[in-house]
Amino acid sequence: MIKVALADDHAMLRKGVAGVLSQFENIAVVLEAGNGRDLLDKMAATSPLPDVCILDINMPVMNGYETASEVRKRWPDIKILALSMYDTELNVIKMLRNGANGYVLKDSDPEELRQAINAVYKNGFYHSDIVTGRMLHILHDPEGRMNIELNDRELQFLKYCSTEMTYKEIADEMCLSPRTIDGYREALFKKLNITTRTGLAMYAIKAGVVSVK
């Protein structure tokens, strides 16, 4: 039985997700919370701990990013699954940097959520249309592309790609033109065999250019 903790500030949605999960024979929602702080307080007083934490991103008091980081710090063996309405690369990157093992959209079919929970529990990560298997392979492959040499400017660009900065803001920070930044991006796409900014950020995490909080 996979024990699940669920944090979402919308009570009706949270109860709905809990109800859906209760229909699956190998999943049990053992803890519900209205925000990240509430979740952490309840987990600190809970035994045994949940196996998987499902986190909304936009919550009051403590959001999903902060909550994921704190869960990862306190209980590194607990798997984290983001359940959000946001589908932009920057949101995905930030959740992954803060320790999420997978990312599912709120409008997904319940079966996908079941598969995601099982995947993060058994394999430590979940492949989805947003976070592809190739991207996550970067994080879990001990060899492969980690041997590729990058120059200082490429490493600096990778670091900025792992933040919430836009490409224009990165260009301003690096004192370069947007066209030059586009050139860095395309060169790294080709060199690393990556096709998205999320993939670049995940490479930066794996390579130690940035750290998971």
Higher-pLDDT residue of 172, 141: 172
The Cα-based distances of 202 to 135, 145, 176 in angstroms read: 7, 12, 24
Higher-pLDDT residue of 41, 124: 41
| Residue 39, CA atoms < 13 Å, CB-side half-sphere | 35
Q: How many CB atoms lie within 10 A of CB 166?
A: 12
Lowest mean pLDDT among 3-17, 65-79, 100-114, 188-202: 188-202
Average pLDDT score over the chain: 87
Higher-pLDDT residue of 159, 205: 159
Q: Is the model's pLDDT at 46 over the cut of 80?
A: yes
Tokens of 179: 């066209």
3-state percent breakdown (helix, strand, coil) of the chain, nearest 5? 50, 15, 35
Cα–Cα dist 107/66, whole Å: 23
Cα–Cα dist 72/77, whole Å: 8
Higher-pLDDT residue of 5, 204: 5
Cα–Cα dist 213/205, whole Å: 10
Instruction: Report pLDDT for 38.
Output: 97
Q: What is the mean pLDDT of residues 171-190?
A: 93
Q: What is the mean pLDDT of residues 132-155?
A: 64
Instruction: Report pLDDT for 141.
Output: 55
Which residue, chain included where needed, has tokens 């492959």? 141
Instruction: Report pLDDT for 53.
Output: 98
Tokens of 55: 């986190």
Q: Is the model's pLDDT at 144 over the cut of 50?
A: no
Higher-pLDDT residue of 201, 48: 48
Would you say the pTM of this structure is higher than 0.75?
no
pLDDT digits 0-9 by tens, 91-107: 888 888 888 988 999 98
Q: Of the ranges 115-129, 158-172, 184-198, which is most confident?
A: 158-172
Instruction: Report pLDDT for 191.
Output: 85
Structural domains for the chain: 2-130 (3.40.50.2300), 144-207 (1.10.10.10)
How many residues does the structure list for the chain?
213
Chain Cα centroid distance, residue 211: 13
pLDDT digits 0-9 by tens, 104-123: 999 899 999 999 999 999 98
How many helices (H) does the chain have, and how many strands (E)? 10, 5
CB 121 within 8 A of CB 53: no
Instruction: Report pLDDT for 133.
Output: 55
